[in-house]
Each structure stands twice: as C-alpha cells, then as structure tokens.
Amino acid sequence: MPTIIKGQPTSAEVRRKLKEEGRPVVLSCSLGKDSLAAWIALEDEGIEVVPIYYWSIPGLPMVEHNVETIEGVFGVKIHQYPHPRWSRTLNNCVFQSPEHCDVIEAANMPVFGYDDMRPFILEDLGLPDDTWFCDGVRACDNPYRRASLTKHGLMKLTTRKASVVADWTKSEVMAAIERRGIGLPPDYELFGRSFDGLDMRFMKPLREKRPKDFEVVKQWYPFIEADEKRWAHYGL
C-alpha cells in the first residue's frame, strides 16, 4: 500500500512541480538505496540531476569505487564535498594522537553545516541560488522522518529542499534499483546500510574485511581502535 503523509502532496506531485520548472536539481546522494531511488525517480521524470556526495574520510577506496561504479551507470559525474562531520570531528580531536592535535589546533579549520555549504556548492556547480536540493528521505524509514515530513512538508520553499520519494515503500525503492540495473553498494553487505560514521558499526567490519580502507581511516583518526575497545568493555 502507498505511504500517505498527512496534509502533504504525493512525491509524484513534487517531481512534477520540479519538472515544470525545467531546471536542473542538486541531489544529495549518500550512495545508499534511498538516494539512488530518488535519482532514478527524477531521471524517469526527465529532470536533470546534478548529484553530490559528502565524503566523511578523504580518499576512502570503498567510496571511490562506489562513486565510479554509480557514475558509470548514470553517465553523470558525482561532485564530492567534505561532510560537515569531517571538520567537526577533527577540530574536536576525535580519536586523534597528541601530534595530530597540535597540527589541528594550528590549522583552526572552519566548521560548516549543510546550509553554510549550500552557496559554495552552487557556486562551484555554476547553478543559481534558488536551485532545489533534493534527497531520498522517506516517511516510512522511521517515525521521526515521518513527523518531520508531515510538519515541514516535502517541498520546503525557504530552504529549497525537496524529498522526492518521501512516500515510497522499501519495495518500491528496491524495484526501481533493480529495474535500473544497479546493485546495492558493498556497504550493505558490510554494514547493512550505506557507510555513515566512525563508530564500530562501521569500523569493526571495515577493519576485519577491508583492511586497506581501515588503514586510510587510521591516517586521519589514528586512535580509532580505542572505540572498539570501549565497545568491548562497556557493550553496545
């Protein structure tokens, strides 16, 4: 059965409105199933998609391979930018050695949120200030997302954000991905979801099954294994 979001238009109506504007949209693509489904839905509507990906760790081989694979499927470049988490964790010296802390404090890196980054991304992409940023947020993912979509809507005029598959079920998402001939990225085999963090849900499988990727993580967060010891001692 279709998902109904109280008081809101369907995602098909949202996509039609975007189509009527006749302009490219930016898609925040995590490389996960929902953002891939959003990309397919926009593509099916004939909307030009400019995909962006926020990396958490520079040059992670697994991510670079995923990006290359998905670019090959869609024939479109995925533009990459640093995730706000990256500078925030570094500035807070998360899992850092004393030697790293000295360098980080001297660098005094600015911390940006998504909204702070928006004008810089649009400038880099050569797109106008009122370009829509689309995402694959779905109401049936969890109660908090449903409540947010019900309260704030699928199209937020003030922030120019649109959730273009908000009422899709998981079966609709998977059907679209299968129809487009895209396999789920290896993240799902490792973590059960797309890569999204430094905690041991992600780091333990990475250390055990993708040691080269884990070594890249350690270059940026040399004490990352301390979290695994904490988990082993205190539990999840």
Q: Output the pTM of the full model.
A: 0.92
Predicted confidence band of residue 2 (pLDDT cuts 50, 70, 90): low
pLDDT digits (tens, 9 = 90+) for 35-94: 999 999 999 999 999 999 999 999 999 999 999 999 999 999 999 999 999 999 999 999
The tokens of 70 are what?
Answer: 């998905």
Q: Is residue 236 pLDDT above 60, yes or no?
A: no
Taking Cα atoms as reference points, which of 143, 169, 174, 146 lies closest to residue 154? 146
**Residue 235: per-residue pLDDT:** 64
pLDDT at 142: 85
The model's pLDDT over 103-126, given as tens digits with 9 standing for 90+, comes to: 999 998 898 999 999 999 999 999
CA distances from 86 to 50, 103, 117, 166, 174 (A): 23, 15, 13, 28, 30
pLDDT in the model for residue 126 = 98
Q: pLDDT category, 143, cuts 50, 70, 90? A: confident
Q: To which H or E segment does residue 57 belong?
A: none
Read off the amino acid at residue 116.
Answer: D
Over residues 196-208, the pLDDT tens digits come to 889 888 999 999 9
Mean pLDDT of the 140-161 span: 92
